[in-house]
Amino acid sequence: MSAVLVIGAGGMLGRAWMQLLAARGLEARAADLPTLDLADDASVAAHVVPGLRAVINCAAYTDVDGAEADEATATAINGDAVARLVARCDAVGAPLVHYSTDYVFDGHASAPYATDRPCDPLNAYGRSKRVGEVALLASSGPHLLIRTSWLYAPWGKNFVVTIAQLARSRPELKVVDDQRGRPTSAEHLAWLSLELLERGQRGTFHGTDGGECTWFDFASAIAAAVAPECVVKPCSSAEFPRPAARPAYSVLDLSRTEAVLGPMPDWRDNLAAVLERL
C-alpha cells in the first residue's frame, strides 16, 4: 500500500495525523523543517514523489501576530509555496489535503460561515492563507481544502495547554468574552480529514468541533476541569490589544461535513477527552 506524506509532521495537527495513521496501520512518511522546507522547491520535489496515497499539508506560518509585521514571509509560506505544492501534487497525481482558517472571513457575521461564503480576511495571516486557498481552488488536481479554527491538542502551544497551566498557578484569569467561534481538537480534525479523504470527498469543507462558545466560555470549561478554585472573569478584546485584529464572530458552518460524517461532537466532549490526558 502506498504511503501518506505528512508535511509539518512535528506541528500540533501533524502529530495528530501521524498518530492516527499509525493507529490505522497506514504507511506514513513524516516531513518537517529542516529536511522539507515548503519554500524550497527542491526539497518539496524530493518528498512529493509519484506513488503517494496522499499528501497532507499541516505546515504553515502560524504566527498570527507576527504576520502583521512580516506579511511577506507569511504569504511566501502560506500562499506562494502552497501554490507550488499544489502544482507538484498535481504533477505526481497525489491528492492534497490542505488546511486553512476561519480568519479568511470578515468576522462580522451573525450566523455560521458557509464554505462558499465570499472571503474577506481581516488580518495579514488570513490574507496569506487566502492566497493558498485560491491556488487550491484554481487547481484541477484532487484536493481537500479544510478550514478549521481554535485548534488544540494535549501537545504543542495552544489555548487549552496555556489556560490549564495558568489556572493551576493563578487565583484569577481574565479572558475575552466578545469573540465567538468553534474550538477544534486536532485529533478530531485529523480523523474527520482522513474520513473525508478515504470516502472520496474533494473540495472545500469546514472541520471543527460542534457547538460554539467565546474564549471566556472555553477558558471557564478548562479551568473548571483542572483547577476549579481559579476564578475566570470575562473581559473585552479592548483590554488585551494585539497586533492582529481578531474576528468577533468566526463560527464555521459544518453542514457540508456533517452531511458526509454525521454530527460533529460537541466541543465540551472533545475538550474533556483532551484534558484527561494533560
Ligand X SMILES: NC(=O)c1ccc[n+]([C@@H]2O[C@H](COP(=O)([O-])OP(=O)(O)OC[C@H]3O[C@@H](n4cnc5c(N)ncnc54)[C@H](OP(=O)(O)O)[C@@H]3O)[C@@H](O)[C@H]2O)c1
Going by the DSSP 8-state scheme, the letter that residue 104 receives in this structure is G
Residue nearest to ligand X (CB): 11
Q: C-beta of 235: minimal distance to ligand X in Å? A: 21
CA distance 31 to 45: 12
Q: How far is the CB of 207 from ligand X (least distance, A)?
A: 10
State the cell numbers at 44. Answer: 518539496
Please state the φ and ψ torsions of residue 61, each to the nearest 5 degrees. Answer: -85, 110
Contact 198, 192 (CB under 8 A): no
Smallest Cα–Cα separation from 226: which of 161, 138, 158, 174? 161
* Cβ nearer to ligand X, comparing 8 with 95: 8
CB of 228 to ligand X, least distance (A): 26
Q: DSSP letters of 39-50?
A: T-HHHHHHHS-T
CA distance 12 to 156: 6
Choose between 22 and 231: whose C-beta lies nearer to ligand X.
22
Taking the least distance from each CB to ligand X, the nearer of 156 and 265 is 156
Using alpha carbons only, give the angle 31, 147, 238 rounded to the nearest 5 degrees.
110
Residues of this chain that bind ligand X (CB under 6 A): 8, 10-14, 32-33, 36-39, 58-62, 77, 99, 101, 129, 148-151, 156
**Residue of 103, 125, 152, 249 marked catalytic:** 125
| In contact, 85 and 133? CB cutoff 8 Å | no
125 carries an active-site annotation: yes
For ligand X, give the closer residue by CB, 169 or 189.
189
Instruction: Answer for the pair 205, 145: CB distance below 8 angstroms, yes or no.
Output: yes
Residue 15 or 230: which CB sits closer to ligand X?
15
Q: Are 180 and 248 in contact (CB under 8 A)?
A: yes
Short-list 33, 57, 208, CA closest to 136: 57
Residues involved in catalysis: 125
